[in-house]
Structure formats: C-alpha cells, structure tokens
Structure 1
Amino acid sequence: MTTTDEPAVTRSPRAAIKARNLRIDNWRRGPILTVLGITAWVAYATFRVFYQGDYWVADYHYLTPFYSPCVSDGCVPDSAHFGRFLPDHPLLPYAALSLPFLLAFRLTCYYYRKAYYRSFWLSPPACAVPDGHAKYTGETRFPLIGQNLHRYFFYLAVAISLINTYDAILAFRSPDGFGLGLGNLVLTANVVLLWCYTLGCHSCRHVMGGRLKHFSKHPVRYRLWTISSALNGRHMMWAWITLASLALTDFYVMAVAAGWITDLRFVG
C-alpha cells in the first residue's frame, strides 16, 4: 500500500554526466568503414550499369551479373538469353528488369538496414551511443514502412539467382563444346556465394520453418530451416562477401571482354 505521506519518486532521464557516452573504444571505425565500403561499391556499380559495354565475352559465353538478364534492344543478341524487349536508351540499364528488385532486396535486408541506419543516418551510430536524431519513429511511417516488403523481394531475388545460375551453366560452352576457364570458376563461385546470402535471408528462414507448431511432423522443412539458420548466422559476412564477389566477377568479365587480359583456359 502507498500513503500520501510517502515521498514522490523522481527519476532523472539521464545520468548527470557531461559526456554524450562513456565508450572509450574506437566505435566510429565501424560506421566510417561501412560508409566507405558501401559508397565505393555503389559508385563502381553505377558506373558499370550505365557504361553499357564490355559485359559479354562471346567466345566463352561470359555474361556479367550486372547485365543479367540482358533484355534491352541494345544487348548483343547472344547475350540476351530471355529476349530483347526494352528500348535501348543511355539512361535505361540493359538489365533494367532485375536491377531494381535486387536493389530493393538489398536495401530492405535486415543486415543492410542495420548497416546504413548506423553509418549513414546515425540512428544510432553504435551501441550505447545516443541517436543522431531528435526523435525516433522506427519503420512505422513512409518511406521506412516499405521495409516490410522485404519478404516479397526475397522471392524475386530467388528468381534472379536462378537466372544467374543459368548464365553460369551456359558459360561452360566454348567454340569446341564444353569449356572450362578461370572465368567459369569466377562465375560459379559468385553464384554459390549469392545463394549463401539469399538462402540465409531472414525471410527465407521464415519460409522454411515459420508457422509450424511441430518440427517433428515436417522433417524436410526442419532440415531446410536448419540449413537456412546456419547461413543466417553468417548473414553479415555473406552480405559483404557477395558485394565483393559481384564487383570482382563483373571486373573480370569486363577485363576479358575489353581485351585487357586473356581468359586462362583449362579445357576448350
């Protein structure tokens, strides 16, 4: 019981200290490196997407993932595995059918949200560091409420990963039949890494094991859920590795297509 004689309890909103936080480690390093890494990748990807050249190696059927699927009228006919039906315009990427969905999938990814919220928006920049904004509304208002569409972008990302896999398989063709070169290894490794990132997505994990009351009655889904969960535990790693593998794969195809280097051939 309480009585009117008891003193009122007052609570200070914050400890009476002058410093904004008491962290003594270099907590700024993470956000700074994230800004530099993402900015560098976006700059390179933007240049390559609108460069519209050196994306296809006809001799070995190498197609960079930045241009897949190539559906513009400006695409080399042999590189357009699914037809050419978009107009050829300097401001319209050759892979305009897939790039917006891949960008949306990455932007709404749970890890990337954390990365750019902290590094670009300082919301908050690090644990135990005050938010850089006066108020916080979360993902309840436009445009951040659109982050909830991530589960739907996941299905589109799966479709695009299947297309990238198809491209990598076609690349094993050479003028003499089956062929194997360094480019094949690069394309295949990139596809494997993309699948590790995509299948480790939180939405994929929910698709595999969500809304089940008894895993024992669904052994296949339980197995798929455990695989997705294992990949999900390294989701940040896959997110960064795939950014690197995409850029490396694109640069290798560009270098071969431009004649800067010759593809190292093992077979064919």
Structure 2
Amino acid sequence: MTSTLPPPEAAGWKRARIAQRTLRTDRWWSGPAWTVLGLTAFLVYGLARALQQDHYWVADYHYLTPFYSPCLAGQCVEEAAVFGRLPWDFPWFLPFAVVSLPFLLLFRLTCYYYRKAYYRSFWQSPTACAVREPHGRYTGETRFPLVLQNLHRYFFYIAFGIALLNTYDALVALFHGHNGGFGIGVGNLVLLTNVVLLWCYTLSCHSCRHVIGGRLRSFSRSPARYRMWTAVSKMNTRHMLFAWVTLATLVLTDLYVALVASGTLTDLRLLN
C-alpha cells in the first residue's frame, strides 16, 4: 500500500527550531551532577591518600590498603613489600603503588560504563536525552585521544592480575592474628568484602564477557565456556552498580586501614 501523503519537503514542513536547551521539566541535571560529585570526591580522596605515603600498613594483623599494593618504594615497610623494594626512595609526588594505580585508573577510565558517566557529566556529550549538547560536532571515539579507549581490553588483563594481588593481600592477613596464627578481625572482613566486590566489578566487565565467549562460533561445542559466559552476562547487567559500589568500598577499606594504622581505631578481633 502506497501512502498518498506528500513528502514533508513538498508540504513546506521544516524541522522545529527550538531556542531552549531543552523542553524537559524534570530534574534531568541531577544525575550528571551527582556523577561529577561522586567521581571528583573519589579522585580527590585517592590523590590525597596516595601522596600521604603514611598509615597504609597495620603490622599487627598484616593489613595493607589496596591503594598501596604492591608497595615497591624503598621507604615501604619491609613486611608490606610482598615483591620486595626498589633500591631507592620514591619522591613525595610518586605513589608507592606506582605500578598498579595508573593501570587501575586507566581500566576504570576506559570502562564502558564510566565512559558514559563522564561523557554525560563532565563533557556533556550529551548531558541527558533530549538535551542539546554544547558541542558543534560529534566525532565519537575515532580520533585521538578518545581512540585510545579501545585499549580497555588490555587494561582488563592488568586489572585482573591486580585483583589477584589484592586477593592475596586479603587472604594472607587471615594468618597474621595474635601470635602469628589464624585470626579474623573487622579489618579482615573489610578487606575480604572489598576483594569480593572488586572481583564482581572486574568479572562483569564487557571485556571479560568477550574474552570468555566473544570469539566462539558455536556455544554448543563449548558448554563450559557457555555457562561461564552466561554467568558473566548476568553479572554484566549490574556492572554500573559494581562500578559505584567498588569506588565506595575502596575508600572505606583504605580509610579503615588508615585509622587503625594511625591508632585512631582499634581493630575488633572476632577470632584469635
């Protein structure tokens, strides 16, 4: 059936010219605003703690904050330096965990969810649906520097290794209770909770989903990988939640270790 209506151009129709940035009446700006506040708060706290270079280690219970793992500087406490120390001290502006922190930040910076978050909030491209963006043109991620976002898949492998390191830090602390035996304190629970949630965020990553099942031509020939891919796909639906939760748990874990290390808090022991 052919339409009898004339084309819009023939009828003299034109695109609507709206002077307002948007006609939306809801609080469309609240989401981007909270995103700016949340990400900025994390970056400010993380930078301050990385440059503090103190209160990162609780010798009595082997608590090491993830912000300082692995600790490689010459001035690191020997017991905290799992992989040994470099033969020189780091300057004040260089974090002790200089090997891991840049890659962890790049892993999150190039994350699919975080891209959407800071594109909309900081870059305003666009700030929200049906809201005019302030940029004259759109080039996507085809030019420098945004083309480097494609390195996310490689940062995933590094982040996976760092998650293993954080897991080791949390598990080894269980065997440093009183008298060097097995023990559990509130700090152990904090470290373990942080590690579990970090794994949830890391494994729910789109890159992990692709590594497991993205190149398979037939799932029927790889039932084990199909089950793993299905599990990761279910976790992937909560990737945004894990992205925000792990920012909070990283801060809370580091803060707890710092307060115990400084003597402000006493770690409550539940066992031994």
After TM superposition, is the score higher than 0.5?
Answer: yes
- Would you say 1:181 and 2:185 are equivalent positions? yes
Runs (4+) of structure 1 moved beyond 3 Å?
6-12
Who is 2:76 aligned against?
A: 75
- Would you say 1:123 and 2:108 are equivalent positions? no
Who is 1:15 aligned against?
A: 16
- Aligned equivalents of 1:16 and 1:158: distance in 2? 50
Who is 1:241 aligned against?
A: 245
TM-score, reference length from structure 1:
0.94
- Would you say 1:51 and 2:52 are equivalent positions? yes
Who is 1:3 aligned against?
A: none
- C-alpha displacement of 1:213: 1.8
Who is 1:221 aligned against?
A: 225
TM-score, reference length from structure 2:
0.93
- Would you say 1:251 and 2:255 are equivalent positions? yes
- Aligned equivalents of 2:18 and 2:118: distance in 1? 29
SS at match of 1:54: coil
The one-letter amino acid paired with 2:22 is: N
- C-alpha displacement of 1:16: 3.1
The one-letter amino acid paired with 1:46 is: L
The one-letter amino acid paired with 1:125 is: T
Conserved? CA contact 1:105–1:153, under 8 Å: yes
Who is 2:268 aligned against?
A: 264
- Would you say 1:199 and 2:203 are equivalent positions? yes
1:144-163 matches, within 5 Å, as: 144-163=146-165
Structure 2 unaligned blocks of 5 or more: 1-6
- Residues 219, 8 of structure 1: CA spacing in aligned structure 2 closer, same or farther, 3 A cutoff? same
Structure 1 unaligned blocks of 5 or more: 1-5
1:127-138 matches, within 5 Å, as: 127-138=129-140
2:212 maps to which of 205, 208, 213: 208
Who is 2:67 aligned against?
A: 66
RMSD: 1.5
Query: Deviation digits for residues 72-103 of structure 1, max 9, x if unmatched?
Result: 11110000001112742111110001011001
Conserved? CA contact 1:56–1:63, under 8 Å: yes
- C-alpha displacement of 1:227: 1.2
Same amino acid, percent of matched pairs: 63
- C-alpha displacement of 1:18: 3.4
Aligned residues: 262
SS at match of 2:85: coil
Q: Which moved more, 1:124-133 or 1:152-161?
A: 124-133
- Residues 39, 16 of structure 1: CA spacing in aligned structure 2 closer, same or farther, 3 A cutoff? same
SS at match of 2:270: strand
- Residues 78, 243 of structure 1: CA spacing in aligned structure 2 closer, same or farther, 3 A cutoff? same
The one-letter amino acid paired with 2:40 is: T
Who is 1:105 aligned against?
A: 107
